Structure 1
Amino acid sequence: MQTSGYAATKAGLDESLRRFNHDYFDLVIIHWPTGNDDETYRALEDAYQDGKVRAIGLSNFNASQVQAIIDGATVAPAIDQIETHLLWQQKRMHAYLTSRGMVHESYAPLGENQPGFLDQPVLQKVAARYHRTPAQVTLRFLNQEGIVVIPKTLDPQHMADNLAIFDFTLAPADVRLLESLDKRQAIVGWPATMQEDQY
């Protein structure tokens, strides 16, 4: 469902519930800022009040855009889903979201299959030390930072590996090594409004 504005969002949500034959969704988010976000969000608030959704939130909103929603909201957004990975750790947004009681959810935590993303020597070295894959160490790093991760894969073994990250903890020295990889570098095509100099 991709809609903008109150009426279209309300109708789209009802149609989606009908098509999926459900009474409610666990979470509905506004995928991109569109300029009509107040009205779109108001439709989500009404759906929340009516029991049609259990949580509402945002995606790809920077701090200023999130704050604009909060300032006009009667139901606070629960989450902001933003690109977050080793090369763009989103420290500034993480601090902001945490201060507002919002969940920081990582989109593209493993770099969307960008060549060389998991081959960085520092990451390889840390992974070898824990006898884990670079992907597992990356996901564990983000998890330890208090970030929810949603890695994308259709491979059953990768799914199992992605879930097997809760039985080890990265030492502070290794966390610092991984933090050193932060280049504030987005994957190609990310909206300019998410760049840290824009908020």
Structure 2
Amino acid sequence: MKKYLILCIFSILSISIYSQIGRSVPEQTLSNGVSMPILGFGTLYLTDSIGERCVAQAISVGYRLLDTGRIYGNEEAVGKGIKKSGIKREELFVTTKVWVSDMGYENTKKAFEESMNKLGLDYIDLYLIHRPRGDIKGTWKAMEELYEAGKIKAIGVSNFEPDQLTDLIAYAKIKPMVNQIETNVFFQQHEAQAANEKLGVQVEAWSPFAEGRNGFFSNQTLAAIGKKYNKSIAQVTLRWLIQRGIVAIPRTSSKEHMIENINIFDFELDASDMQQISKLDLNTSQFPEWE
């Protein structure tokens, strides 16, 4: 019994400590002055009751940036997880996205309202065009109007190449504030990051662990660096991203891994570490089927 009580106390203290870490996550200031956490929680594939549980758990251990999308089919679950957490709405930064089939002025307006209703929110912190397909101009106009009406705090895109981003900016009344693109150690996106930053657009990394592809979780270079700091491969990778000024949104259904992923603010990679990781770059997408 005594041993059980000690374990319970330790668990409560651990959650409290990691919650403090979550609340101290550094923020990136977007071009319109809005701040977003540099580390968040991705929800792709986390649907129904699993999604609800994971979102509530992620919030409980300190995550404040939550990322979903209409095509994920889990906006309702994310909304239920938010409600279950009991956290104040203003403490969260919630992102969702308009999918290809909803592109166009009227369709985007409708899709946005449906997303907001499923999430159970009265505004969205960040709304993105999920892919550069279809009527981008009409969709962007709708997003600009929703932004000006105060229903969205920031607008942006996802999976846009620098030239596609430049084309959008040429006719946009309001420039995109974020571009969410694949960024991991095998596809490091240095040139894309430089191009985005030159345009005043914040880069956000989806799938920072490459979904484990190419032997990511057994990579010897990352493991050796992690050993120096008593950190995991996942932690080293997330630290590498935030030191580059890139927002990261790792996904996991494990509470233990949620805590692990957010516990990256007590160490810093040195120049040698960063150089070693740079050599892992294959400069090619790890998800060719999504291109």
Q: Would the TM-score normalized by the shorter structure come out above 0.5?
A: yes
Superposed CA deviations along residues 111-170 of structure 1, whole A, max 9, x for unmatched, are 113261121211111111111101100110111011110001110111111111111110
Unaligned runs of 5+ in 1: 192-199
1:29 to 98, 118, 128: 128
* In 1, Cα distance between equivalents of 2:245 and 2:211: 21
Superposed CA deviations along residues 67-107 of structure 1, whole A, max 9, x for unmatched, are 11111111111100000000000001100111112110000
1:121 to 220, 223, 227: 220
* In 2, Cα distance between equivalents of 1:19 and 1:157: 28
Q: Are 1:48 and 2:180 an aligned pair?
A: no
Show the counterpart of 2:138.
39
Show the counterpart of 2:35.
none
Superposed CA deviations along residues 11-66 of structure 1, whole A, max 9, x for unmatched, are 11123333434321111100001131111111100100111111110001100111
Following superposition, which runs of at least 4 residues in structure 1 exceed 3 angstroms of deviation? 18-21
Percent of paired sites with the same residue:
37
Show the counterpart of 1:63.
162
Aligned-partner residue type, residue 205 of structure 2: S
Show the counterpart of 1:14.
113
Show the counterpart of 1:145.
244
* In 1, Cα distance between equivalents of 2:230 and 2:208: 20
Q: Which structure carries more strand by proportion?
A: 2
Contact kept? 2:186, 2:286, Cα under 8 Å: no
* In 2, Cα distance between equivalents of 1:27 and 1:45: 12
Show the counterpart of 2:29.
none
Q: Are 1:133 and 2:232 an aligned pair?
A: yes
Unaligned runs of 5+ in 2: 1-69, 71-98
* In 2, Cα distance between equivalents of 1:22 and 1:107: 23
* In 2, Cα distance between equivalents of 1:10 and 1:66: 21
TM-score norm. by structure 1 comes to 0.92
**Does the residue aligned with 1:106 lie in a helix, a strand or coil?**
strand
Give the alignment's Cα RMSD to 1 decimal. Answer: 1.2
Contact kept? 2:104, 2:134, Cα under 8 Å: no
Contact kept? 2:124, 2:151, Cα under 8 Å: yes
TM-score norm. by structure 2 comes to 0.63
* In 1, Cα distance between equivalents of 2:121 and 2:219: 44
